[in-house]
Amino acid sequence: MKLSSGRLKILIFFFIPVLILFAIGLLFGTLGSSFIGKEPPDIFKVPKPHVALPSEPILHVGSFTITNTLIASWFTILVLVVLSIFLTRKMTLIPGRRQALAESIVEGLLNFVESIAGKKHTRMLFSGVATIFIYVISNAYLALFPFFGTIGVRHEHEFLAIFRAANTDVNVPLSIALMSFFFVESWGMRAVGASHYISEFINVRQMVQGLKEIFTGKIKTGPMNFIFGFINLFVGVLEIFSHLTRMLSFTFRLFGNMTAGEILILVSSFLIPLVFSIPFYGLELLIGMIQALIFSGLTLVFGTIAVTPHEDSHE
């Protein structure tokens, strides 16, 4: 392949320093020094990654504990509010560049919601689903900035970081999952009416009809309706149980992915210090977006199922 001089310059100025840094990290970091047998020089000493699953408290205000993930989620909220104010100042009918960015974000999310929910219910489902998506993806992406995990206080010979990725605290996915549960049930009740929605779970109509038919003497259809009604009741209870376990699986899916990503980056930058963890940052970008899409997409799918009235074949 013939290299033009421009491409040759990129090759020399980019790849060679990266290779040199990788070799330095390999030789002088932890992995290299365990092969060679000598201690790494002082500038290359990386502290052993200390994995703490619960989040660490920083301040105590009265009886309320402020943990480092709480500070990180406040930071996310601050960034989102400032960004949205900045993007939507002085809105005109023909958008300038900032407004076009905001409009493209909203339009992308609207298309996503409409592709699954259909035109009729998009307006109702949009706010909840889009909020979950934007919040989860902002938490995941803002955690990749350099000052997360490095600025901290020294507290009884232990280093506590002031900022820690908000999604790695199990409370954040749990609270979003609880909200998603309440959203789905409230959408269902708003769309088909509360009593109809609840009757999709606890469905005693067929059983009662079977009982009536037994007592008025229709022996052919009575017991059959009674037995099928009993099975329907059991299936309804199973539905309630499945709605409740959705919260559990939402929580652990997001928490596990984000914590595994954080541990991966910590360990990879401990083993080979300088350049080796860059592909893992790329993986973390991909995983953050996929998890946000999954969380909001599953909420959307369950909401669509909830607002679609079940066809009543018993009438």
Partner 1 sequence: MTPEVVKMLVIGLTAGLGFLGPALALGLIGFSAMQSLGRNPESRGAILTNMILIGALAEAIGIYVLIVCIILAMVVK
Binding site residues, partner 1, CB under 8 A: 51, 53, 249, 252-253, 255-257, 259-260, 263, 290-291, 293-294, 297
CB of 282 to partner 1, least distance (A): 17
CB of 284 to partner 1, least distance (A): 14
Amino acid at 302: F
The answer to whether 140 and 165 are in contact (CB under 8 A) is yes
CB of 115 to partner 1, least distance (A): 8
CA 125/CA 115 separation, integer angstroms: 12
Q: Which helix (H) or strand (E) holds 237?
A: helix 222-271
CB of 256 to partner 1, least distance (A): 3
Q: Which is nearer to partner 1, 68 or 291 (CB)?
A: 291
Q: Which is nearer to partner 1, 223 or 256 (CB)?
A: 256
CB of 252 to partner 1, least distance (A): 6
Q: Which is nearer to partner 1, 138 or 296 (CB)?
A: 296
Q: Which is nearer to partner 1, 28 or 135 (CB)?
A: 135
Q: Which is nearer to partner 1, 187 or 255 (CB)?
A: 255
Gap between the terminal Cα atoms of the chain = 74
In the chain, alpha helices (H): 5-10, 16-28, 30-36, 68-87, 97-117, 122-142, 171-192, 194-199, 205-215, 222-271, 278-307
CB-based contacts of 223-228 (< 8 A; 24+ apart in sequence):
none
List Cα–Cα distances, 42 to 28, 37, 220, in angstroms.
10, 15, 88
CA 302/CA 124 separation, integer angstroms: 14
CB of 129 to partner 1, least distance (A): 14
CA 294/CA 116 separation, integer angstroms: 13
Q: Which is nearer to partner 1, 12 or 51 (CB)?
A: 51
Give the count of alpha carbons within 13 A of 194, CB side only: 1
CA 19/CA 24 separation, integer angstroms: 9
